[in-house]
A = this chain, B = another copy of it.
Amino acid sequence: MTAPLKIGFLLYPNLTQLDLTGPAQVFAHMSGSQRHFVWKTMEAVPSDSGISLLPTDTFESCPDLDLLCIPGGPGQNALMQDAAVLGWLSRQGAQASWITSVCSGSLLLGAAGLLKGYRAASHWNYRQYLPAFGATIDEGRVVRDRNRITGGGITAGIDFALEVVATLRGQAEAEEIQLLLEYAPQPPFDCGRPELAEPQLVERVRQRLATSVHSMQGHAAKE
């Protein structure tokens, strides 16, 4: 009997919960794996969607992880120079087999020094900050560079996680999970990437995201 693959997600206040809950649903069906949801304390963590999520582990109680996964979200701005968070990422990153992120979570990996010299994905509105952390921007929806696997914005987490399952458990199991999740998407519009959208639409969305952008610019500049 092999030990289960220990998958650990960073939780934090005001994370974009779908960055985490999409992959968590995929990994819930992955054979020989267990999931850890990790934060500084065991108290419920509010998300950006009005629902709070409960950690299963603290930084201290969490075991050594095989796969580290960092979601993005407005709340990450407060963590970009948080010694406890960056220290935990750095310690886990030094020993984990797989270091991964979804959305702007890649900027947190970057802040912890875990993307230097790697190609990485991020949410389209934030990937411009990757080079400040020594990473190379890759506009792919799921990007693998050696043992780094990073996903694009928010909903890319589902594609990301299925690719992880295919890589670690093979195509047959990934196909089973894709069918189980009835993942045959039918987006109502054809505007899910800025290259596909009218400039005015892109601008309206940039405005919606503006607070986070300014904040991230501030942090990237200090690196």
Contact = CB atoms under 8 A, between A and B. Distances in A.
A204 interface: yes
A201 B187 contact: no
Interface residues of A, number: 67
Nearest to A171: B189
A25 B17 contact: yes
Contacts of A152: 182
A176 interface: yes
Interface of A: 16-18, 20-22, 24-25, 27-29, 34-35, 37, 44, 48-54, 56, 103, 123-124, 141-142, 152-156, 158-159, 162-163, 166, 171-172, 174-176, 178-189, 191-194, 196-197, 201-202, 204-205, 208-209
A106 to B, nearest CB: 13
Contacts of A204: 176
A175 B187 contact: no
Contacts of A192: 178-179, 181-185
Contacts of A24: 17-18, 49-51
Nearest to A182: B153
Contacts of A176: 201, 204-205, 208
B175 A154 contact: no
Most chain B beta-carbon contacts within 10 A, residue among A51, A156, A166, A192: A51
24 contacts: A21-B21, A21-B51, A25-B48, A25-B49, A29-B208, A35-B51, A37-B50, A44-B44, A51-B54, A153-B181, A153-B182, A154-B180, A154-B182, A155-B183, A155-B185, A159-B185, A163-B188, A174-B188, A175-B197, A179-B191, A179-B193, A180-B205, A183-B185, A185-B192
